[in-house]
Amino acid sequence: MGAFSGLSERLNHIFSKLSARGRLTELEIRQGMREVRIALLEADVNLGVAKDFIARVSEKAVGQEILKSLTPAQQVIKLVNEELTALMGGSNVKLNPSSKGPMVIMMCGLQGAGKTTACGKLALHLKKQGKKPLLTACDIYRPAAITQLQVVGKNADAEVFERGKASPAATAREAVAYAEKAGFDVVIIDTAGRLQIDDLLMRELEDIAAAIKPTDILLNVDAMTGQEAVNVAREFDSRLSLTGIIMTKLDGDTRGGATLSIRAVTGKPVKFCSVGEKLGDLEPFYPERMASRILGMGDMLSLIEKAQDAVSEETAKKLEKKLREASFTLDDYLEQFESMKKMGSMKDILSMIPGLSGKLRGAEIDEAGIERLKAIIRSMTPKERARPEILNGSRKKRVAAGSGTSVQEVNRLIKQFEQTNQMMKQLKGKKRMPFLGM
């Protein structure tokens, strides 16, 4: 959540001060709201949006039921959470279905917004949902744009339709016709971008839209461009009637204000957000989850979804059986570390757990320490991994030397593993395991 780390830190500081006061007066709430307004503006939220947001929260926050409440600060945080969620659109908005033929998604954006990569990310996301997407190359100007889409398509295991330098509108029309014959249920059109908006670009995009009548016209917006992203969205929408936004580079060191402002200013929903450079780093945008994360309340639903992507159902069942039978080995322990790595950085994972995100602020998570633990396990023989109790002094020295660690670290891992196994035995017989989503 790089885009909102600064805002999240400021808001948590403001609310912790309010919580420390116990009962609140109307003046204290209004002062707190003024600080929230400054925090929003510093996060690059549109001035009008920030002003309206504070007015709505303040009006509700100074009501008698909150002033008389035993936990007024918590009530104010709840209000801010609700209004933040509403500001970003209230709930996730899905892609528009097609009443006849394949869904046709037209991707637009300025150069550098990550549009071509987003096409591949969306194709992979839809493939995971059982769809069969066809990528279509309609950027005939940027050098190697078609080649880039072909590389992205190969990595996403999605076919790419291209007609070289032919008219983009004609290519798009042919792609939709080909998709209907070949059994594709989604067509994703990668269109040309420019360094800035001009009439020539817009006319070409209008021609493509007229030729294929897309079910969705999505604009890729670079979150790192701040309020300029909102202006770009407004201009594209005025010519193309956008159906949604994809916010890219939300993992970057940016203030995130565009994401909070764009729905209020344009009326268009953010449908997806890109949170990394890998093809799998595209997520549906859930305003309620994002609001919770900004306010340090965690995001368990996204964490569970990440876990489901990282661990297959078969692997989860196999692990559950081992846990129930108390036959959990160091090989299984290693597998769990690998699964967590697929989910992202440890800090990102822990920040999604309610109650932990605020405590982790500024904390350094020892990712290297986890790699050392994995190296220790890999330096053991299969027999030692299955029965760590046979690890005597000389074996431990060999493992430490092989993993570039110390005997103390080997001992620490074994103790940690034994404690985990002990916990498993205590849980044995319970209906469901209260961890790993089981």
Query: Which element (helix H / strand E) includes 103?
Result: strand 103-108
Compute the Cα dihedral for 154, 160, 163, 168 and give only its sign: negative
H or E element, residue 412: helix 407-427
Domains and CATH numbers, the chain: 2-87 (1.20.120.140), 103-297 (3.40.50.300), 303-427 (1.10.260.30)
CA atoms in the 13 A half-sphere facing the CB of 63: 10
Query: Span 15-39, mean pLDDT?
Result: 80
pLDDT in tens, 73-118: 777 778 888 888 888 888 888 988 888 889 999 999 888 778 888 8
232: helix, coil or strand?
helix
- For residue 438, name the pLDDT band (cuts at 50, 70, 90): very low
State mean pLDDT over 336-340.
67
Is residue 141 scored above 70 in pLDDT?
yes
Give me the pLDDT at residue 359, please.
46
Could you give the CA distance from residue 42 to residue 36 in angstroms, rounded to a whole number? Answer: 10
The pLDDT tens digits of the residues spanning 28-74 come to: 888 888 888 888 888 878 888 888 888 888 888 776 666 666 566 77
Residue 296 confidence (pLDDT) above 90: no
Q: Mark 79-105 as b/e (b = at least 16 C-beta within 10 Å).
A: bbbbbbbbbbbeebbebbeeeeebbbb
Burial label for 389, CB within 10 Å (0-12, 13-18, 19+), is: exposed
342-361 tens-digit pLDDT: 655 555 554 544 444 444 44
Residue % of the chain over a pLDDT of 90: 15
pLDDT tens profile 246-293: 888 776 555 667 778 888 888 889 899 887 778 888 888 888 888 877
Q: Is 344 helix (H, G, I), strand (E, B) or coil?
A: coil
What is the helix (H) or strand (E) element at residue 133, kind and residue range? strand 133-138
| Entry pTM | 0.64
- Predicted local distance difference test score (pLDDT) of residue 356: 42
Q: What's the rounded Cα separation, in Å, for the pair 88 and 71?
A: 26
Instruction: Return the ∠ at Cα 437 (arms to 247 and 294), rounded to 5°.
Output: 35
How large a percentage of the chain has pLDDT more than 70? 76
Range list of H helices, 129-226? 145-156, 168-182, 199-212
Task: Give the other-Cβ count within 10 Å of 377's Cβ.
Answer: 22
Band of the pLDDT at 172, cuts 50, 70, 90?
A: very high
Q: Give the burial class of 295: count Cβ atoms within 10 A of its Cβ; 0-12 exposed, 13-18 middle, 19 or more buried.
A: buried
Q: What distance in Å separates the CA atoms of residue 88 and residue 291, rounded to the nearest whole number?
A: 8
Q: Are 330 and 388 in contact (CB under 8 A)?
A: yes
- Compute the mean pLDDT over every residue in the chain, rounded to the nearest whole number: 78
Q: Which residue intervals of 213-312 are DSSP H helices?
A: 227-240, 257-266, 287-294, 300-310
User: And the tokens for 351?
Assistant: 């920040």
Q: Using alpha carbons only, how large is the chain's radius of gyration in Å?
A: 26
pLDDT, residue 314, reads 60
Distance separating alpha carbons of residues 285 and 347, to the nearest angstrom = 20
**What H or E segment, with its residue span, contains residue 128?**
helix 115-128
Mean pLDDT of 113-134: 89
| Residue 38, number of CB atoms within 10 A of its CB | 14
Cβ distance 436 to 319 under 8 Å?
Answer: yes
Mean pLDDT of 227-249: 85
With 90 as the cut, is the pLDDT of residue 367 above it? Answer: no
